[in-house]
Structure 1
Amino acid sequence: MRMYRLLIVDDEPYTVDGLFELLQETEMLGLDLYKAYSANEAIEWLNRVKIDIVLSDIRMPGMDGLQLQRQIKARWPRCKVIFLTGMNEMTYIQQALRDGSIDYILKTEGDEPILRSVRSAIDALEEELKSDRYLQHAKARIQQALPGLRNGWFMQLLQHGIDHVGLTQSRLAEMESPLSSSAPLLPVLARVDRWPEHITGTDRPLLLFAIENIVQEMLGEMNAQSVIIDDSYLMIMIQTQHRGGCHAGESDQAGAIRFVQGMLETVQSTCTQLLQLPVSVICGRAFVSWEQIADTYFRMRQKLVLGVGKGENMMLLTGRGLSKVDSGAAMMPSRLREQLDVALESGRSEEARTAIHVCFANTGEYARYLEAYYTVANQLISLINRWGWAEQLEQDGEIRLEQLMNVQSHSSREQAVEYLLTVAERLITFKQGVQDERTERIVERINRYIREGISGDLSLTALAELVFLNPAYLSVLYKQTTGQNISEYIISVRLEKAKELLQDSQYKIHEVAAAIGFDNAGYFTRFFRKNAGIGPQEYRDQAGI
């Protein structure tokens, strides 16, 4: 079961803190929890991150719960809303249920009905992910798939830019594309990280169309055009709906970006659970012009290739400072070069070796041998340049570029092929090392931020924003890398800091609590007792303070 985000909203801080503590201590729910002490503060969270469940008071000053519910549905239509109130008013109950809330609980009913309702919300979210309607829709649409001409036109656009294809609104209309030639695009690039062995080449188009259909359904009324790059990559170009001939302004674009980034989490989860496919996604952090789309695609692909962690089920965002790349190089490889490229990018050694050996099949003639050698060598040097690793690889001495690009430097055909295999293997190993190093830097930055800001906002969203990752993916990446959850590390740091402060008699218990991020001294005492085995005052007494 995936981790869901739950937001608690009430104008009574005691109620919010009590519910937060109740849900946090119910570990089997596995929730990422957030607090808001007003409807306006709740909207700030809704604008910042995708929320799956909202537990809200219905009677609040200013904006009440019913008004908040409409704001929630406008941003995150699949969010489940549970209402709490101290009053049993049938009018409010009827309106809340009419507007789509899933439960209505009196505050006097106690903890168990609240926990039961939250579990029901989680079950409902899980059931939606397991639904097979996405795959059924994909099968129904496969007979009406995008014509090859339209996909080919967009492929040319991504590879060579608008000057090559002649972008006009009439051209888009002829191809029945929903996009406007005068509006900017939000780019999203998805990759099937690994095809299971039982998936044949003929099955892959169906599953790619299933992914495409899932994306379309999740994005709702947004205009989106997908392009199948190959049997692993899918590009989606998104525009906001325009009304009255006016395109979305900056505020609408920001909301659209938040919505798309949030819904991509559900897309990824659905692909994993329903299609049994690991899918990585990189999403733009800003809209780009049609003139920029080709270069943006190539940069996004480069960042997805470099990746972090294990390189599967990644959820990345475009960042600043991406290195410039030659978007015209190696953009139309043969099928064989594609296979080698994908194998090297994905770190699959055996597939890379196979592709190289196939390249040298039937090369008895010297001219064909030369063609095979330089085809592979050019592919390898292209990747080295694309990834910016030439100097580093030269320094370690294992790869000499002059030798790679000179067939005469090898005394035999067998030695030449073996050298190319060695270079390919070294590239895969080096890439994994770079990924591991980048991942370790991310984890260390997170850990340092937690240690230095233990009294501040340590929500998963705040930590993810620090390292420009999706919150859900950061949670998975951290666990894969360290073997523990971020929440477990935060608990250990808080406990260590609390013990340190408790040994100094100048700090009172409530001051120690505030210093490690607890607003409530009673909550801190229960936290300390649960994790240290004794209460904070007992700890002091035993230490002789």
Structure 2
Amino acid sequence: MIQFMLVDDESIIVDSLHRLLEGQEDLPLKVWKAYSADEALDLINIIEKTEGQGIDILMSDVMMPGMNGLDLSALIKSRFPELKTLFLSGYSDYTYLQTALHQEAFDYLLKPVDDETVIEAVRKLCLIIEEERRLKEQEKQNGMRLKQAQRMLNDELLRELLEKPLTPQQLADKEESYVQASLSVDQCFILLNGKVDQWPLTYTEIEKMRQREMIMELMVSMLQPQCSIVPYNGSRHLVWLLQVKRMDHDSETCDLPQLHWYLSEELERVQFTIQERMGLSCSFVISGHEVDWLQIGDVNRKMGELLDRAIGLKSEIMQVEQAGEAMSRYQDIQLQPQEIKKQLLALTGLLEAGEFLAFMNELRSFFETIRKSVFLTYERQSEIFITLAGLYLSYMNSRQMTTEVGMKLDLTYLTNFNKHTDWQSFGDYCVRLAEILFLIVGDDAKEQKQEIAEKVDNYIIQNLSRNLTLQQLADHVHLSKFYLSRLYHSQRGYPIYQKIKEQKLNRAKELLLQDDIKIKDVAAELGFENVPYFTTFFRNSLGMSPKEYKQSYQS
């Protein structure tokens, strides 16, 4: 059972979330609630004694009387280092976000937050915790710590083998080390390279690293019965070295061509298992069936280049000898160099002109086009990266903004292409950077900011019957929710959730004064799931119930 603690000084939020999560029978949760940090700490002591474990997940408001949510999380994490934290707040201040990130918070949810978003975040955390527990148990049973320690010793050896030319003398000198790494120096290899085609937008770097490790271990567990397999987690791709498994010194289970055929057939099952268990699409490149020790670095480089070019693959399995055939299948949807240059030139003009909304729309369109192109040479990819990086750096330097921007976003991602795991990652980074520039420029974009705020206001007024979320509003104006929250607050002087609350309250008062409408109909029209929830909202806002308000005007 996963122990879940809810903490917020607003009782209506705590009670509502408690009911919501208690009703999710598919989630392995035991939900506790507290209305202050002090009450939560007292309750944790009781839980530890009665349940024999600490808190696994903390969902806490940030700003509370007394101890705030950030300090509460840090204090609980000092006792239970594996604590996962979800912050819930009406504040989107960068300082709070930065502190939450330093504490490795799983997410920072801005009020008002809809039920679906909460359940999705909690469900993902439950899956992470269950997976961590499973891995721990597996680690105990199979001696994972010993295997991980051995891999650390092997990594440098494998890196040199795969990434540098190997001479006969070096092979002889390190023969004993290769044997210790479970490699047979008198056999050739089959080389397998793989990558995740596209990471989900919600994945953090830590999650990506964990998933890569899981893919590597899954491949080993599924193929090991038929061959000797050594994994290597490369800087850009996953690599596996396969050799024939020997039964004794004189016999072997199969030869390399048989193993090559088996691998080609089995990879589809591996892909299906990864998709089923992890929800990820992976593509693989298989070498020829006899890679010599002295050829392995060159073959690995060519296979890596093929995967680097393949930016739009979906669960592909390619033989390195048939790469030309694979690329020809997608020839009709390849992006032409002149088209790339045309779009990059348009982006340069829009940024220099300060047309930020048009720039961001064009930027998203550009990366969408890039992602549809299945194969793109690494040289062309580098050209795009260098052009966009130069565009941003030139813009920031000419306006002496680089230091200020660097305080809000890690600019090393703008100078090192290899830090981005895929083109989606780089595209998201470029959009985020554009949003930060938009914020800093300020007065030059004042009219555009005002236009966005007015669009949000109109959308709220036209959709009062819906349970509006910040993400829905952000999607409407094609911005990220964090950027929209800051922009709107800077324009209006109050957060978006306050505008939603104000409009719902004003509309509720208008409807309640109509003789022929019932309170339950008012609640339904304004998107409240039930009358008690609407009544609590109304009373907290005006100090009287809807019924009392209606009667006060009738008398």
Q: What's the TM-score once normalised by structure 1's chain length?
A: 0.36
